[in-house]
Amino acid sequence: MTNFLVAGGIVAWPLLAFSLLGVALIIERFLFWFQIKAREKRVVNTVLKLYQGNEPMAAIAKLKKNADLPLCRIFLEALILYDATPTEFRLALETATQGELPLLKRFNTVFQTIIAVSPLLGLLGTILGLMRSFAALDIGNTGGTNTGAVTGGISEALTSTVMGLVVAIAILLFSNSFRSLYLKEFALIQEYAGQLELLYRRHYEKGNKPYATTR
């Protein structure tokens, strides 16, 4: 690995830093999405059943126990409103959803930066390696050419190109996977929020006023 980094030249080190940063963020995102997908549907379905069965306090208690889940926090922001009209309830759901989106899209900008910059760093390494090779050439005097420097420059050019592409491709694959999870989660939030809003509207129209709660 050390020889590979040396062969990659000066751009190998920022590429290594990008790869380590990318791995750390990928692990964080993987744990984040695993936690959500492992519990979310079960918890939210239980909450909706409790609320539908005229047990709003039990539903709110369930949400508070699982407040680490984005969808539970969204539901709580709406359900804690006292005597809210259906319109106000919907607005609370929409506002809470917007507040959770940055968390769901966290590190997307960093991923995109790594994907864009890594190939450029690889290209820079290619140019520097070729410049080094050309500088070692002594045209017209074969015996005076520093063959070691020429081959070293070519090696640097090829290695840096490979490193830049590998880092960019790997991060791109994971970034697209996380983006797909985000889009699915957003659609799920809209679906469940619509179900909760419908239940709330039915309670409201039946004269069941919202319940005062504390956070």
CA 20 to CA 14: how far, in whole Å?
10
CA 121 to CA 11: how far, in whole Å?
6
Give me the residue spans of the domains in the chain.
Answer: 2-42+103-205
Query: Would you say residue 98 has pLDDT above 70?
Result: yes
Residue 72 · residue 44 · CB < 8 Å: yes
DSSP 24-49: HHHHHHHHHHHHHHHHHHHHHHHHHH
For the chain, the straight-line distance linking the first and the last C-alpha, in angstroms and rounded, comes to 53
Tell whether the torsion through CA atoms of 190, 195, 199 and 201 is positive or negative: positive
Total Cβ atoms within 10 A of residue 9: 22
Q: Which phi and psi angles does 167 have, rounded to 5°?
A: -60, -45
| 84/151: higher pLDDT | 84
Task: State pTM to two decimals.
Answer: 0.81
Query: Would you say residue 102 has pLDDT above 70?
Result: yes
Q: For 106-157, what is each residue's pLDDT tens digit?
A: 999 999 999 999 999 988 888 887 777 666 665 555 555 555 555 656 766 7
DSSP 79-136: HTSSS--HHHHHHHHHHHHHHHHHHHTTTHHHHHHHHHHHHHHHHHHHHHHHHHHHHH
Element (H, E) at 137: none
Q: For 37-54, what is each residue's pLDDT tens digit?
A: 999 999 999 999 999 888
Give the pLDDT of residue 153. Answer: 62
Mean pLDDT of 27-43: 94
